Amino acid sequence: MHRDDSSAPGGGGGGWSARLYCARERPRWRRGGLMTLIHAVAHPGTPDDGGGAGALPTLIALHGYGANAQDLLGLSPYLAGGRLLMICPQAPLPIQPGFYGFNWHAFSGPEGRGSPEVVEAANAMVSEFVDFALEAYPVDRDRVALLGFSQGGGMAYRLGFSEPERFVGLAALSTSLPDDVFADGETPREAVHALPLLIQHGASDASVSVDKGRASRDRLAGLGLLPDYREYPMAHEVGAHSARDLSQWLDRVLGLGGTGA
């Protein structure tokens, strides 16, 4: 993921102080036969308050193909005024030996697809990680949003639509809706209809064509869903303008009063 820092979105920056609890590799945690994913966390607490602010509105962010747990973490001070807990799990599969980049379920690029069994196992692992995060960190369980970039966006679509009650919003960035998320003729259940959706895509994205973002929007609309779809003059990245819009959207879905825009 490439982020344009030339104009940082408002509401964060110099006045924000974070505590990174897991910005490096963390021992995996075993639960129910599975091990949790290595992950990175940005906490809005300061050294003066001990990092303790009670249960916090939370964003779980899934990185794209070839990235790692810290890839999206740098956005944290600029989203919702730096007032949210940001938790970034790392995909389990290295893309090649000796390279600190990972993918969720395939080795064939940002839109690569693993077998149905591999994809299902990856989705279960992320769901299990959410269980872990809710217990391990000061998460306000009524205010958890889900975000995915590129391949992580496909994972976010799968998890968000299969477990919509867990999230107050789903943001899909520079990605496409996987074909297997809804079966032919399937009608999304009420909780999916109630889930706020944000889709952002770069008009010059050479990794995941903007046509695929538009097709995702149209397919969701055909199912009766109403995503907030936005395009930007950018490539395969999160730019300053898209980050500002994302920040404002998070303010709304997390009930933060709109002061982080």
10 assigned to some structural domain: no
Within its chain, how far is the Cα of 200 from the centroid? 12
5 assigned to some structural domain: no
225 assigned to some structural domain: yes
Per-residue pLDDT band for 36 (boundaries 50, 70, 90) equals confident
Residue 173 has pLDDT above 90, yes or no: yes
Residue 202 has pLDDT above 60, yes or no: yes
49 assigned to some structural domain: yes
Provide the domain limits for residue 136. Answer: 18-253
Residues 132/60, Cβ–Cβ less than 8 Å: no
What pLDDT is stored for residue 203 in this prediction? 98
Number of domains in the chain: 1
121 assigned to some structural domain: yes
Residue 7 has pLDDT above 60, yes or no: no
261 assigned to some structural domain: no
- How many Å apart are CA 51 and CA 69, to the nearest integer? 21
Looking up residue 33, the CATH number of its domain turns out to be: 3.40.50.1820
What pLDDT is stored for residue 49 in this prediction? 42
pTM for the full predicted model: 0.85
4 assigned to some structural domain: no
Residue 88 has pLDDT above 60, yes or no: yes
**Digit-coded pLDDT (tens) for 11-31:** 444 334 444 444 334 434 344
187 assigned to some structural domain: yes
What pLDDT is stored for residue 107 in this prediction? 54
